[in-house]
Every structure is written in C-alpha cells, then in structure tokens.
Amino acid sequence: MKISKIQTPLEAAQAESKPVSGSSAERSLRLLALLAHEGRALSLAELAARLALPKGTVHRLCTQLVAIRFLARDVNERSFVVGPAMRQMAFDTLNHDAVRGLRHGVMAELVRQVGETCNFTTLDGAQVLYLDRVEAKWPLRLTLDIGSHVPLHCTASGKLFLAQMPRAQRDVLIGNLLLTPMTHTTLTTAAALRLECDEIFGQGYSCDREEFMLGLIAVAVPVCDRGGSVRAAIAVHAPTARMSLDVALRQLPHLQAAAARMRELI
C-alpha cells in the first residue's frame, strides 16, 4: 500500500511551480499560512508570485480577509500582515493546546525558584501579548489577565522583542510607535529606544526600570524555537519594595534555564 505524504498548509502555499486553482477557501488558507510563516508584511505582488495566483485574485482575497480582520494593511497600505482575528485564533489554539499545561509547569517551577510572578509573552503586532503567567503568593502584586496587551516601548518583554527584530524593521516600527510616558523613567524618544535596543541585543536580556509602572521592575529573556528565532519571552516582575533590579538580575540563570526548557514546547 502506498502512503502519500501529507502536505502542510505552508508547503501548499510555497508550491510556486504548481499553480493550484482550488477553492476560494483553500486560496485564503494558503495566503494566511504564507503570511504567518514569513512573519512580515508582504506586498500584493509578492503574495501573487509566491502563491502562483493572478494579482486580481490575490487582491480580492486580501480585501475579503481584511474585511473580517484576518488580514490587516501594514504601515505601507500596499502590503499586508496577519490581522487581529487571525492572531486571536492562534492565541486560542495555543491557550487550549495540551502543551500549554507543560509550559505552565515550567512557569510554576520558575516562580518557585525566584519567588515572584513570571510571565510568558509574545509579540502581537505592535504590542506584547500575555500568553501565560503564574502569580507569586504575595498580597502586593500587579495582575494582568492572560490575553492582555501591554506596550512595547516601556516593558521588558516589549523592548526585548524590538531588540531582536532586523534593524530596518525595528526602525520603522519605533518610528511609528506612540512613545507615551507611563512614568518619569519611560523612554520617550526614538533615539533613546534604539540605543536601548542595541544594548539589549548585545547582552541578551531586557530590563524594565519602573518604566511601565512606578515601583515595578522586570527582567525578560528570549524564548527561541529550534531554528533559533525568537518566538516569545519569559519575564519576572516584582515591586521594588520586595525585589530590587539588581536582585532580579541575579535570577537570570533561572530565567534562561526556563527559556531553554520552553524551546521544546513552542
């Protein structure tokens, strides 16, 4: 009996040499799979070429997917990125997957080691998305629900994600961010944020020096997939009344060990 190889949506999207007529639904899924894999904005021409479809067909598909929020237009109106509805579906899938329990176990062990609340986050457009968190058993703590979003420019995870981007992509995003001053220590100029990102990239971790909320510090490290791409971040945060930034930095070995364990779970 001959067993046929099962083709993934991404492999179908990359089958440039074999144009597929298919249904509108199939074409839409191939388009979304391609954008999700690339992790960057693609122009109409790029999408048409990669999918081996006419530009008119791709334009119609993009228009329909933008209308239902599975796609969104990039800063450059002629390019497209994954939209909020697609990101929510991905989040829901991650949040209910069996692997989530294993990831949560890694976070729980980390909290036991460091004694403060830890977060598991990812990049969602121009914000940080909370995928999971384990609270420390202290009466004084900041509560952010899973699924919450926080800014990039004033959080440890957010600055870490910015620092890991290709420089050209980072500069465009920073140039379009609203650098709202959350506290007196928030970085509110593009030049200062770019300089901070260079430092973060070099040292491999990021700090929040009461930039998001007064009296709250955080340290974040990257979580890479098996290919070495940064997919998420693990962070510890604590009120300064209980933990100074220097003490938090001493927890880096625990954070990095947890990040290495997460590598097999994303």
Q: What is the mean pLDDT of residues 24-31?
A: 93
Distance from C-alpha of 70 to C-alpha of 62, rounded to nearest angstrom: 9
Do residues 129 and 120 touch, judged by C-beta distance below 8 A? no
Residue 89 within any structural domain of the chain: no
Does one domain contain both 147 and 28? no
Do residues 263 and 224 touch, judged by C-beta distance below 8 A? yes
As given in the structure block, the two tokens for residue 76 are 């450059």
Range in 82-86, 232-236, 240-244, 249-253 with the lowest mean pLDDT: 82-86
pLDDT at 265: 85
Does one domain contain both 160 and 191? yes
Residue range 65-106, pLDDT digits in tens: 999 989 988 866 788 988 888 887 877 776 666 678 888 899
Does one domain contain both 117 and 169? yes
Residue 4 within any structural domain of the chain: no
Domain limits at 114? Answer: 97-265
Residue 66 vs residues 8, 63, 77: alpha-carbon distances, Å: 24, 5, 12
Residue 3 within any structural domain of the chain: no
Does one domain contain both 79 and 107? no
> 138-175: b or e for each residue (b if 16 or more CB lie within 10 Å)?
eeeeeeeeeeeebbbbbbbbbbbbbbbbeeeebebbbe
Please provide residue 241's backbone torsions phi and psi, each rounded to the nearest 5 degrees: -65, -25
Residue range 142-156, pLDDT digits in tens: 666 677 889 999 999
Average confidence score pLDDT of the chain: 87
CATH code of residue 139 = 3.30.450.40
Does one domain contain both 115 and 154? yes
Q: Would you place residue 254 in the very low, low, confident or very high pLDDT band (cuts 50, 70, 90)?
A: very high
Total domains in the fold of the chain? 2
Q: Would you place residue 203 in the very low, low, confident or very high pLDDT band (cuts 50, 70, 90)?
A: very high
CATH code of residue 50 = 1.10.10.10
Range in 76-80, 121-125, 155-159 with the lowest mean pLDDT: 76-80
